Structure 1
């Protein structure tokens, strides 16, 4: 009997250890904080607010029409999956004067899903650059004020991401031009941060009921 138990442990334990590490440390616990004190878009557009929301923040640049593919990937892989969660939103920062392009993009996105939680914040070039700098990331905006990367911002205006990504080490943003990256990495990280807040809410409710 003891021999069978020993053999079972020797067989099962390596499998359990493998599954743990194969799942990735990032799937356990909190999603790491990479930057604090990210500026709120209310600094230049009072119609949109980051604080108090779990936000997917993006920068579409001046040529929004050419970036519809990025928005569609984000909509299909992230927004349609998580858009019904309370306090979740998409915020795309765009230059002033691009209202017509935004309306055209919203029309196209609206054919794919309900876009109530897609928001667009308008700012000057300098305001957009200043906001982007507060992310303190290793990502850069191009001359058009565009990046394919989007960022997870928590309710307290902190940038969340990965500190042990297998490809980049520290991972600040997620490339919307890569469906594989959205599927294999961003989906997991959004799940984690939503789970964090759900657990915190349950704890607060339990504490109040004591």
Structure 2
């Protein structure tokens, strides 16, 4: 009887563990869509697009020197980890007339890592506010047209986030002033969306080979 019980544990436990983790992969394998089809940055002054890219979208406004700490946090904790992926990019929205400040920031970031996938989009105040409002988040722009929060936009221009965050419930963006949040939450969510696309590509290739 004892021997049978031990054998049952040896065979059943691995199966239960497999089912548990497989279920976890299915449940957490996709990052929820919170806003569908956000506008493209082509509606602003920009040489880049959200289409076909996994984008970290941020708003630096018109006081870029005061936001350097946020940009450096994001660069060190997120960009340096994922910037080598071909489909990954950073786009920061800046008020028109502050291109030199943005380029200077990019140059400083380039001293820490390859900043080729850091991009900027420019607009007038009303254009930036209109663009931001169409993200339909629970975050507001500050008076200088900035926010410390950045947002994950997928290849189809959907804003991705969390519907059951342990602290906020629905979580639209990530606070770049908090290194802990970038480390413990945003990094995980970027991993999830990259894994989602890798799995989709793998399945597509497998179907082609049939």
Q: Same fold (TM over 0.5)?
A: yes
| Aligned residues of 1:89 and 1:118 also touching (Cα < 8 A) | yes
Deviation at 1:205, TM superposition (A): 1.5
Task: Supply the RMSD in Å over aligned alpha carbons.
Answer: 2.3
1:2 aligned residue (4, 11, 16): 4
Count matched residues.
204
| Alignment match, 2:88 | 88
Deviation at 1:107, TM superposition (A): 1.7
Deviation at 1:104, TM superposition (A): 1.7
Secondary structure of the residue aligned to 2:38 is: coil
TM-score computed with the length of structure 2 as normaliser: 0.89
- The reply on whether 1:150 has 2:158 as its aligned counterpart is no
Q: Which runs of 5+ in 1 are unaligned?
A: none
| Alignment match, 1:205 | 205
| Aligned residues of 2:94 and 2:121 also touching (Cα < 8 A) | yes
Alpha carbons of 1:204 and 1:107: their partners in 2 closer, same or farther (altered >3 Å)?
same
| Aligned residues of 1:77 and 1:182 also touching (Cα < 8 A) | yes
Secondary structure of the residue aligned to 1:148 is: strand
Secondary structure of the residue aligned to 2:115 is: coil
Query: For residues 149-188 of structure 1, what are the structure 2 equivalents within 5 Å?
Result: 149-188=149-188
| Aligned residues of 1:77 and 1:183 also touching (Cα < 8 A) | yes
Query: What do residues 48-97 of structure 1 show as CA deviations (whole Å, max 9, x unaligned)?
Result: 21111100000011100010000000000000000001210000000000
- The reply on whether 1:110 has 2:104 as its aligned counterpart is no
| Aligned residues of 1:150 and 1:173 also touching (Cα < 8 A) | yes
More divergent stretch after superposition (39-48 vs 165-174): 39-48
Between the aligned partners of 1:111 and 1:153, the Cα distance in structure 2 is 26
Alpha carbons of 1:179 and 1:46: their partners in 2 closer, same or farther (altered >3 Å)?
closer
Between the aligned partners of 1:167 and 1:106, the Cα distance in structure 2 is 33
Between the aligned partners of 1:46 and 1:187, the Cα distance in structure 2 is 26
Between the aligned partners of 1:97 and 1:110, the Cα distance in structure 2 is 22
| Alignment match, 2:70 | 70
Secondary structure of the residue aligned to 2:104 is: helix
- The reply on whether 1:194 has 2:194 as its aligned counterpart is yes
| Aligned residues of 2:46 and 2:122 also touching (Cα < 8 A) | no
TM-score computed with the length of structure 1 as normaliser: 0.89
Between the aligned partners of 2:123 and 2:46, the Cα distance in structure 1 is 11
